[in-house]
Each structure stands twice: as structure tokens, then as C-alpha cells.
Structure 1
Amino acid sequence: MKRVLCLTLALLSFIPAVLRAQEPAAPQEGLNTVMQKASYIIGRQFGADIKSNLPNVDVKALLEGINEAIEGKPSQLTEEQIQATRVELQKVMIAEQMKMAEADKKKGLDFLAENAKKPNVKTTKSGLQYIVEKEGTGAMPKETDDVVCHYKGELIDGTVFDSSYERGEPARFPVNGVIQGWQEALQLMKQGAKWKLFIPSELAYGERGNPAIPPNSVLVFDIELLEVLPPAANK
């Protein structure tokens, strides 16, 4: 809903500029004038955003509301009805989000169960799964150390949500400043190692998720432990 509101405000700020730039031509069929093209663009953008946030929208009622607002007609609903509908819609959307979160949780558990059967996958007591792609030979980091790593993070469908490789430089951070699954894995690795991690949601972002990661998501990481920096090096 926030995205819909933000887009609506952005479009409202865009319309006056379009109106000032409109050519003084008579209405034509198709998308010929600046205003026709601008109106079409606004409709496409607004429609796409509505579809992604409210896929079951009643298009007829939506268009009716838009037309009435543009024509200056009074609302068919009272202010009390509008407020009540907003409350009910919020409940529906929260319920839908919870349903999706539960589906993602089951999908993640099924993925981990199948992944654990692979001969090269190791599983710790916490449920963290990993594959050793390259053994390291250097120091093993402690919880209080800093580390320098190259990494790529994905959802189980292959969607990349973060990558130091794409940024072109490794990242430095304290071991105790990252998600639990990372903390556990890093303290099992040696400098120079490269592992692939499969992190259960409860060792990652859990039910809350974050802007790039849906709730209850299992995360897949490729990690290269490039350097271990002892506490003395951090001062």
C-alpha cells in the first residue's frame, strides 16, 4: 500500500508538468498527443503497481473511482465507510502476507530436507548446512574478530539480493555483527576457505525478513574468507 501511495503522489506531481507541456491540439484517436501518451504512461505505471500490491483489485470499481474523482463527482462512500474499508483491507493484506510467509517457510524446510541428503552437504546441530568448496590454511576467526570476505547471497529460487562481487570489492565486518548462520560458519572456517552456506530462516532474518528478503526465507551464500583480523588490528 505504501508503494501505491508513493506512486500516486509521484504521478500527481508529474501531471501539472505534463499539462503545461501539452500541445494545443484537438483530441485524436490513439496515442498521438503528448497528453494522450502521458496519460497512457501514468495508467500503465499505476496499473502495474496496483497489480503487484493488490492483485485482486476490482478494475471496474477502480476506474469508476478514478473517473468520479477526475470529474469532481461526490464519493459514493461516506468518510466512515472509507475508513472502515481501509481497516478491513489492512486485515486482509496482513492475513495474505502471513499465508505467504507460511508457504515460504514450508518451501524452505522442504528445500533443506532435500539438500541435506546430498553427499557433500554437512549439517551442524543448529541446522546450518554447508559445502566446503575450498579448504583454508590460515587462522580461524573468533567471535570478536573482524573478517574480510567476498560473498554472494541468494534466495532458494536463485534471486541474488546482495553481492560483494557485483560491487567489485570484498566487505569487512565484525564476526559478531552478522546473522547467526554467518557467525557460526565463519568460526568454523579457516582463512582462504570458500564455502557454500544454506542458512535456515531462524539463523537468518526469521519471520521479520527485511526489504530484500521475504519472511521465513532460507538463504544461500557463497563465501570466501579472505582475511582474519584479530582484535588488536581493529583498534
Structure 2
Amino acid sequence: MKKIIKISALAAAVLLAAGCQEQTTQAPEVELKTDDQKAAYAIGASIGNFASQTLVQQEELGVALDRELVKSGLLDALTDQVKMNEEEMGSALRAHEQKMNTVVQEKTQEKREETLMSGTSYLEDNAKKEGVSVTESGLQYEVIKQGDGPTPIAADTVTVHYTGTLTDGTVFDSSKERGQPATFPLANVIKGWTEGVALMPVGSEYRLTIPAELAYGDQEVGTIPAGSVLVFDVELISIEGKEDSKQAKK
């Protein structure tokens, strides 16, 4: 969910004025020859871009302000004829900010509940697939390729290739796409990774389906919505300091 930008009284007067120009008025020709002309136009354009983005954000959340009133407020401020004092404007802006925060919280909760319901259904269906095993914690894994090397423990540092997706197939991270395997202490990742990779002998490829409580829980992380079930295709390449053990086993 995009954050709602906090706005000052001055910014509020300008913020939502974009798109309010009278349709019957012919816009004057704009000259951008001097540095001052360019600077003046750039200031207006940057305010317009900011206003446009904010309008879109608020309207997507179901809140649309009267643009004609916004236009009136802007023009009144430019001609020193504002019909509200500073205290009244501050109160109005704080009330609007509180309203937007409430709307954002409600939308976030709705989205989280939808994600949780979808994830629960996905886990139930996936657990029924042939070849999928479910651990006591709820982690689901499927052996794509079984290696014959040593198996890591939580204290180990491992090198892996992986691709992480949401349940709809959206890729949110992939070492394979970057063309560079990842190396990290196994104890420093999400619980589902620590448990799942510890099941894998070196040389293995597993698909780990990780419930939200073993991933990021109710946190929204990057493009990962709060409450998401995560699916990782993981290839365990090596365990730091255990190459000799692999060779001895061979």
C-alpha cells in the first residue's frame, strides 16, 4: 500500500490543483528561452507532477476532493484573499491527514485478510500434490533433484541459487536472474529457509512452499504483501568448509 504524503498548508493549497484549469480558457503560449523562464516553468511542472501523483493515490483509495475548491483556494492564496485563517487551514489539513491514515489502515487490513485467505487455500491444495511433504512446522517441500553431498545445519554458511515467487507466480527475487549465487549464514534468513535448506544435501534442488508465519508474517517487505505464502526453487551449491566432506562421501 502506497504511503500517503504528509502535506503542509502551503503544499495543500497547490497539491491538488492539477487538472483544474478552466476548459474554456485558452492556455497562453509558453516561452522557455531564459534561465528564469525555465526555472519558473520547472517549479510549476514539478508541483503539477507531485499533485498528479497524490491525486491518483487518493482516488485509488476512494477519496476524491473537489478540484474546483482546490483551485479557488490556490487562486485566493495568490491574490491574498484566503477565506480561512492559518488555524482553520491547519485543522482542516490535520483532519484530512487523519482520514487518509484511517483509509490506508482499513485498505491494508482488507488486503492482508485477502492474502491470508488465498495463502491458506494454496497451502491446502499444494499439500495434496504428489511428492509434496509437510513438516511439523507447516513447511512444505518437494524434491526436484536429490543431491548426495553433506547436509547443512543452522550454524553453517551456504551458497545457493534460488528463485522466489508469490503464489500467483510473480517473481520477487532471483539469484538466477542476477547470474550470481547467494552466500549467507543459514541462521540469518527466514525460518522457512533455515528449516528447508537444512533438509537438503549439497547438489539438491528443492521447491519450498513457506507459510507466512515462517516467512515475513504480517510485514510487507518490498513487493511482498503482508501475510504472503512464498514459493522458492532452491539449489544448494555448497556449504562453507564442508567441501572435503562431500569429496569423502563420494
Flag whether TM exceeds 0.5 (same fold).
Answer: yes
Contact residue 161 and residue 235 of structure 2 kept, 8 A: yes
Contact residue 205 and residue 235 of structure 2 kept, 8 A: yes
Q: How many residues align?
A: 210
Structure 1 runs of 4+ off > 2 angstroms? 1-6, 32-35, 37-54, 66-78
Match for residue 188 of structure 2 among 155, 168, 177: 177
TM-score, structure 1 normalization: 0.76
Match for residue 131 of structure 1 among 130, 142, 146: 142
TM-superposed deviation, 1:116: 1.1
TM-score, structure 2 normalization: 0.72
1:1-235 alignment, distance < 5 Å: 2=3, 4=5, 27=28, 46-47=51-52, 50-52=55-57, 54-55=59-60, 56-58=62-64, 61-62=66-67, 64-66=69-71, 68-69=73-74, 72=77, 74=82, 78-230=89-241
Max Rg structure = 2
Unaligned runs of 5+ in 2: 15-26, 33-37, 245-250
Provide the C-alpha distance between the structure 1 equivalents of 2:3 and 2:83, rounded to a whole number of angstroms: 23
TM-superposed deviation, 1:226: 0.2
Provide the C-alpha distance between the structure 1 equivalents of 2:71 and 2:231, rounded to a whole number of angstroms: 44
Distance change (3 Å), C-alpha of 1:223 and 1:33:
farther
Contact residue 146 and residue 172 of structure 1 kept, 8 A: yes
Distance change (3 Å), C-alpha of 1:228 and 1:94:
same
TM-superposed deviation, 1:45: 7.3
TM-superposed deviation, 1:181: 0.2
TM-superposed deviation, 1:161: 1.2
Counterpart in the other structure of 1:20: none
Contact residue 76 and residue 82 of structure 2 kept, 8 A: no
Distance change (3 Å), C-alpha of 1:45 and 1:81:
closer
Distance change (3 Å), C-alpha of 1:227 and 1:83:
same
Provide the C-alpha distance between the structure 2 equivalents of 1:158 and 1:195, rounded to a whole number of angstroms: 17
Distance change (3 Å), C-alpha of 1:63 and 1:195:
farther
Provide the C-alpha distance between the structure 2 equivalents of 1:53 and 1:195, rounded to a whole number of angstroms: 43
Contact residue 158 and residue 183 of structure 2 kept, 8 A: yes
Task: Give the match's secondary structure for 1:141.
Answer: coil
Distance change (3 Å), C-alpha of 1:123 and 1:84:
same
